Chain A
Amino acid sequence: MIIIATIRMAIRALQRNTLRTLLTMLGIIIGVGAVIAMISIGNGARAQIESQIASLGQNVILVMSGNFSRGGIGMGFGSAGTLTKEDFEAMTREVIGVSGASPEVRGNAQVAAGNQNVNTSIIGGSEEYAVIRSWTITSGSNFIDQDVRSANKVALLGKTTAGTLFGDGEAVGQVIRIKNAPFVVVGVLGAKGSDARGFDQDDIIIIPYTSAMKRITGGTTFRSISVQAMDAASSPQVQSDLNELLRQRHRIQDGKEDDFTIRSQQEIADFATASTKVMTVLLGSIAGVSLLVGGIGIMNIMLVSVTERTREIGVRMAIGARGQDILLQFLIEAVVLSVVGGGVGVIFGIGGAYAVAKTQNWATLVSTSSVVLSFLTSAGIGIFFGFYPARKAAQLDPIEALRFD
């Protein structure tokens, strides 16, 4: 029997009971749609976290004040304030393989320029901060070591901040007031976009940490120090040297816990991707269960259909249909159900992912592989769950099927 004729026959059989067909498909539609939407959400989160970690800079080792190892590591920074200016200077002086280092202090402050006024986050760093954190400078230039040493009032503006304060006008050379202290804008940073939590990374001002500690954050300690290793190969050695140096400087006895935490960029990346992977798998498998339920729905309806159409099967066998013809007929009906359902589900899944992206402001990433995979899975489900009812039909005895009523 010709496959195309069988497919046409299956479509006609399914059209006869439109409502039932739609309800049966609904399970697969929801299943495939959910799988695609969930995987898109998971992938989107991962892609964003990955790009955020990449923007941390190359071969960066983060030294944070406080010990996070007990509560696991977050993306946050320490607050205990155990890292001093002397620690920082010792790191650059005594550890071999360090190509750059910068402390980091953060605070929020009211910033004004002309009649424009914004509250933005202020980051204090050394002249190497922008380089280590892979910021580009689109106009003007970075501040220099002399600015840091003298706690000069110079500032690098994030793209968003520059836009808010100066619009399209030239920002470099202008004076802004941070907490009423006048700072000269020396450069404007290139855009990084928003991070995984949706925060605009370009809504910042970078100033020398000396100036920041004096005028904005106060205090004498750093929440973190970013150290850049010369290359990936020397990174582990630098990491352990830093550890040893700090334990020595902080006079931590053997067996006592560190009062700081050192994480390489790789460790942070591994942790973040591992946790988003877990999230993707979790979301995907919950959605997969609904796909399975959809498949069972197809099997259920096909079993009902085989019973209802026993006489038809008998007639077909009486005029010469082989068991395999009947098997194919019902199998194709199940596959048409699941494939059409899968196709509609793909559309709903992609639509759902976009809807989530729009309404929740989450990043979603519809991957071709997840679309193809869930579509093929739905076809597979049709074959798998359609096989038992189809075989049941094919094994009917012609005479008994004809007598059935």
Chain B
Amino acid sequence: MAALIKLENFSKTYNSGEMEVHAVRSVSLEIQAGEFIAIMGASGSGKSTMMNSVGCLDRPTSGKFWLDGVDVGSLGRDQLADLRNKKIGFIFQGFNLLARSTALENIELPMLYLRPSIPAREQVERANQALSMVGLADRGDHRPSQLSGGQQQRVAIARALVNHPKLLLADEPTGNLDTQTSIEIMGVFQDLNRKGMTVIMVTHELDIARYCKRNVVMRDGRIVGDTAVTNRLDAVEELQKLRLEHQAVQLAT
């Protein structure tokens, strides 16, 4: 079976004034369907740049990129938009929800741009399903400002999933969250991955990367490490442990 994602000599160079910044340098990488990958590396190592290109938000300067067998480099603006709409769910570090729309409206948004379009009633139905899947069934009419960071990220995940994509991309999804909420989000990802979703996420936290199956490490725009995770963490267990620790602390005081 062909790889879901294939990068070949993938490079991205930014031209900011006279300075040339080689954000990604000739990276080659294959990712199969069903994988759960953490892309790691220091700040500025090119993780986001690569993720944005894989998410069809940006184009590489040179090199090739196939998504699900399609040569993305040959596609136009509209076709890229359609790919983002149907095949890819993108989750951002800053959530990027529309502040003046409710949680449910935010989740409905990708269906608005679906071609061919689906009936309004089905849109609401699917949005509600996605909302209960991330455990926020009763928060549909809340605005982002009325939700906690973890809840906002759950809404963002529901939005990313509502068009049933093949691939879930997350750029530092736990960057703005506390430890427990981060583990909860990783639990959601593990659950999705178990059901067959391919998940690629960027993180610079080592312990978060241990919830994934494969870790790719970048430095200065190159891949310097690519390993399978051996002693993988399970979010349910870790949350249980955390709860026990809490109780112990409370008993001790």
Contacts and interface: CB of A to CB of B under 8 A. Distances in A.
Contacts of B90: 318-319
B81 A317 contact: yes
Interface string B102-146: 000000011011100100100000000000000000000000000
B84 interface: yes
A16 B105 CA distance: 15
Nearest to B95: A315
B163 interface: yes
B21 interface: no
A319 B77 contact: no
Contacts of B96: 311, 314-315, 318, 402
A312 B114 CA distance: 18
Contacts of B117: 1-2
A345 to B, nearest CB: 28
A33 B66 CA distance: 58
Interface residues of A, number: 21
A81 B78 CA distance: 84
B61 to A, nearest CB: 14
Interface in A293-332: 311-312, 314-325
A319 B100 CA distance: 17
A319 B109 contact: yes
Contacts of A315: 96-98, 109
Contacts of A1: 112-113, 117
Nearest to A402: B96
A115 B82 CA distance: 93
Interface in B14-65: 52, 55, 57-58
B86 interface: yes
A320 B113 contact: yes
A343 interface: no
A398 interface: yes
Contacts of A317: 57, 81, 84
B113 A325 contact: yes
Contacts of A320: 81-82, 84-86, 110, 113-114, 163
A321 B96 CA distance: 15
Contacts of A2: 112, 117, 120
A399 interface: yes
B110 A319 contact: yes
Contacts of B58: 398-399
B159 interface: yes
Nearest to B159: A319
A233 interface: no
A139 B5 CA distance: 101
A5 interface: yes
Contacts of B110: 319-320
A16 B143 CA distance: 14
A316 B57 CA distance: 12
Chain A CB count within 10 A is highest, among B55, B98, B113, for: B113
Nearest to B55: A318
B52 A322 contact: no
A319 B120 contact: no
Chain A CB count within 10 A is highest, among B98, B110, B112, for: B112
A318 B96 CA distance: 10
B125 to A, nearest CB: 16
A319 B98 contact: no
Contacts of B82: 320, 322
B84 A316 contact: no
Contact of A399 (B57, B77, B85, B120): B57
29 contacts: A1-B112, A16-B100, A314-B96, A315-B97, A316-B113, A318-B55, A318-B57, A318-B90, A318-B92, A319-B85, A319-B109, A319-B110, A319-B159, A319-B160, A320-B85, A320-B86, A320-B163, A321-B85, A321-B113, A322-B78, A322-B82, A323-B77, A323-B81, A325-B112, A399-B52, A399-B57, A402-B57, A402-B92, A402-B96
Interface of A: 1-2, 5, 16, 311-312, 314-325, 398-399, 402
Given A2-B117, A399-B52, 15 more contacts: A1-B113, A2-B112, A311-B96, A314-B96, A315-B96, A315-B98, A318-B96, A319-B113, A321-B112, A322-B78, A323-B78, A325-B112, A398-B57, A399-B57, A402-B57
